[in-house]
């Protein structure tokens, strides 16, 4: 795998971010790389302790990348949406509540950045996408960032890329009140991704720090107001080790907190937390693959909301495309004694060129959920069918069920269209 391809696959900070694209030669000095994609989806949820819910959402996107011969480019993607506002806020979570009774529609810029790419060097500034550690750390996140990456190759097909990131998402006060929830918070990160023979790997270190009066005031016994992050290190390695028919994949999130009474009282990763997962995939036949994974966290360790738990009801809801059927968050915010685990298995069956089926099941347990003193248990099952209508269009139908403390049944149907 080439260095740049590896970086797109594992880091997800994309150079050309259209799923499919077409290139128009404008002249000898410039070309236009463009593409369009859309989905329309409907969902229904039958919870055990409330009335049934159903809804509809759609998204339409246009990608236009102006690429100049001197290595510079202007990269944009615009999206139109209905009943979904996207990740347009300066900070915080993405999207709106699907079931709050209000609709939202409009046009926004999904991605927009300037870039220089030449001879293994990549420089970028603007609104970018970020993924890390297969979604276990972050998935499909949109922020204003400065990024620099230098790639090196060695041997026949091995490579390593060194990355530096400065995140601008908290560079302003976010709340106009007597208590600043975000007071000039900054995120700095150093990372590396690489390939060495059968091993793909990555390592990330990030630090969040901010103003002295940020998020609460210990001297006045004022706790944090809402969700806020500050004064902690995030160390996040990941790997994939590929053999003939077997592949092992894993990642970890280590939160080392500098949050003390001197800096204020914090409830979001105000203490150390740990999380990790390990997945094994085996190609049983040319058309059948089996997967099994174990995932856990201790003391409110970080698990990305977009992480694939094999259940549509648990996580599987990334930052910039929240799932309407995701009902349970598996992960923590730094609360001590908030622990959890998931054990799950899945079968992927490529029936023929058109049909693909997935069957999954597992068990989840959470102690002291988000510091609430509430324990949660559930067994889940999932079935998904996908039909490839053509090169550009596919249909999917997913049914997700869980018992015990989740006790929900949900279904979601979706049409995807992508044009090259």
Q: What is the pLDDT of residues 273-315, one digit of tens each?
A: 999 999 999 999 999 999 999 999 999 999 999 999 999 999 9
Residue 191 has pLDDT above 90, yes or no: yes
Number of Cβ atoms within 10 Å of the Cβ of 51: 7
CA dist 236 → 46, 133, 138, 328 (Å): 37, 7, 10, 23
* Phi and psi, residue 234, nearest 5°: -125, 115
- Nearest Cα to Cα of residue 392 among 38, 14, 31: 38
Mean pLDDT taken over the chain: 83
- Does the pLDDT of residue 199 top 90, yes or no? yes
Contact 326, 402 (CB under 8 A): no
Task: Provide φ and ψ at 218, rounded to 5°.
Answer: -65, -35
Taking residues 233-260, report their average pLDDT.
93
Top-confidence residue, 116 or 91: 116
Handedness of CA 317, 89, 167, 370 (dihedral sign): negative
Give the per-residue pLDDT at 83: 54
E runs forming strands in 284-333:
288-298
Q: What is the pLDDT of residue 182?
A: 52
Q: How far apart are CA 292 and CA 280, in angstroms?
A: 5
Q: Which of 75-89, 326-340, 381-395 has the lowest mean pLDDT?
A: 75-89
The total number of residues shown for the chain amounts to: 420
pLDDT at 268: 73
Instruction: Give residue 396's domain range.
Output: 3-419
**Is the separation of the CB atoms in 255 and 338 below 8 Å?**
no
Q: Choose between 173 and 293: higher pLDDT.
A: 293
Q: What is the mean pLDDT of residues 170-193?
A: 64
Calculate what percentage of the chain has a pLDDT beyond 90.
59
pLDDT score, position 141: 85
pLDDT computed for residue 219 by the predictor: 54
Burial class (CB in 10 A: 0-12, 13-18, 19+), 347: middle
Q: Do residues 84 and 104 make contact, with C-beta atoms less than 8 angstroms apart? A: yes
Evaluate whether 400 touches 311 at the Cβ level (below 8 Å): yes
- 411, two tokens: 């279904």
CATH of the domain at 366: 2.40.160.100
- Is it the case that residue 2 has pLDDT exceeding 70? no
Mean pLDDT of 34-45: 93
Alpha helices by DSSP H, listed for 242-349, are none
For the residues 62-89, what does the mean pLDDT come to? 78
Question: Locate tokens 């420089």: which residue?
Answer: 123
Instruction: Give Cα separations from 328 to 201, 285, 362, 386 (angstroms).
Output: 29, 34, 14, 24
- Which among 324, 389, 304 has a CA at the least distance from the CA of 58? 324
User: pLDDT tens digits for 220-231?
Assistant: 555 554 456 677
pLDDT at 374: 94
Question: Of the ranges 14-28, 31-45, 138-152, 327-341, which one carries the lowest mean pLDDT score?
Answer: 14-28
The confidence score (pLDDT) of residue 331 equals 94
Neighbours of 403 (CB within 10 A): 14
- Dihedral through CA 277, CA 278, CA 284, CA 286, nearest 10? 70
Confidence at residue 48, expressed as pLDDT on a 0 to 100 scale = 80
255 close to 301: Cβ distance less than 8 angstroms? yes
Show the tokens assigned to 253: 């999130």
DSSP 3-state assignment of 199?
A: strand
- Helix/strand/coil percentages in the chain, nearest 5: 5, 55, 40
pLDDT score of 393 more than 70 = yes
The total number of structural domains in the chain stands at: 1
Q: What's this model's pTM, rounded to 2 decimal places?
A: 0.86
Q: Would you say residue 167 has pLDDT above 90?
A: no
Q: Which pLDDT does position 193 carry in this prediction?
A: 97
Q: What is the pLDDT of residue 378?
A: 97
Contact 31, 23 (CB under 8 A): yes
pLDDT of residue 278: 98
Whether 410 has a pLDDT exceeding 80, the answer reads yes
Check residue 177 and give its pLDDT.
Answer: 44
pLDDT value, residue 264: 52
């Amino acid at each position: 795998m080439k260095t740049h391809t590896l970086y797109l696959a594992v880091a997800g900070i994309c150079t050309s971010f259209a799923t499919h694209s077409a290139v128009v030669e404008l002249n000898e000095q410039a070309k236009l790389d463009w593409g369009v994609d859309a989905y329309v989806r409907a969902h229904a949820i039958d919870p055990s302790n409330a009335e049934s819910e159903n809804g509809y959402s759609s998204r339409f996107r246009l990608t236009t990348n102006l690429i100049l011969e001197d290595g510079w480019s202007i990269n944009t993607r615009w999206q139109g949406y209905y009943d979904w506002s996207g990740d347009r806020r300066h900070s915080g979570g993405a999207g709106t509540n699907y079931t709050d009774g209000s609709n939202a529609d409009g046009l926004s810029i999904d991605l927009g950045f300037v870039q220089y790419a030449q001879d293994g060097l990549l420089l970028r500034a603007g609104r970018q996408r970020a993924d890390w550690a297969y979604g276990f750390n972050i998935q499909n996140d949109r922020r204003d960032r400065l990024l620099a990456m230098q790639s090196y190759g060695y041997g026949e097909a091995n490579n390593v890329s060194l990355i530096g990131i400065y995140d601008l998402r908290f560079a302003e006060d976010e709340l106009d009140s007597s208590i600043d929830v975000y007071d000039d918070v900054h995120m700095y990160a150093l990372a590396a991704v690489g390939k060495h023979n059968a091993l793909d790997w990555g390592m990330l270190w990030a630090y969040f720090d901010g103003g002295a009066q940020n998020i609460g005031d210990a001297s006045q016994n004022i706790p944090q107001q809402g969700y806020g992050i500050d004064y902690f290190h995030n160390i996040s390695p990941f790997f994939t080790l590929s053999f003939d028919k077997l592949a092992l994949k894993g990642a970890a999130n280590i939160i080392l907190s500098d949050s003390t009474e001197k800096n204020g009282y914090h409830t979001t990763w105000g203490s150390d937390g740990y999380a990790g997962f390990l997945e094994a995939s085996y190609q049983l036949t040319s058309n059948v693959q089996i997967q099994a994974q174990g995932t856990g966290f201790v003391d409110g360790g970080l698990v990305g909301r977009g992480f694939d738990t094999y259940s549509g009801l648990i996580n599987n809801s990334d930052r910039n495309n929240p799932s309407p059927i995701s009902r349970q968050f598996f992960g923590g915010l730094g609360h001590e004694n908030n622990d959890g685990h998931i054990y799950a298995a899945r079968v992927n069956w490529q029936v023929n060129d058109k049909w693909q089926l997935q069957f999954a099941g597992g068990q989840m347990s959470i102690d002291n959920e988000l510091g609430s003193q509430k324990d949660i248990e559930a067994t889940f099952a999932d079935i998904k069918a996908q039909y490839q209508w053509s090169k550009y269009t596919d249909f999917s139908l997913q049914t997700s069920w869980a018992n015990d403390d989740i006790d929900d049944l949900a279904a979601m149907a979706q049409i995807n269209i992508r044009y090259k």
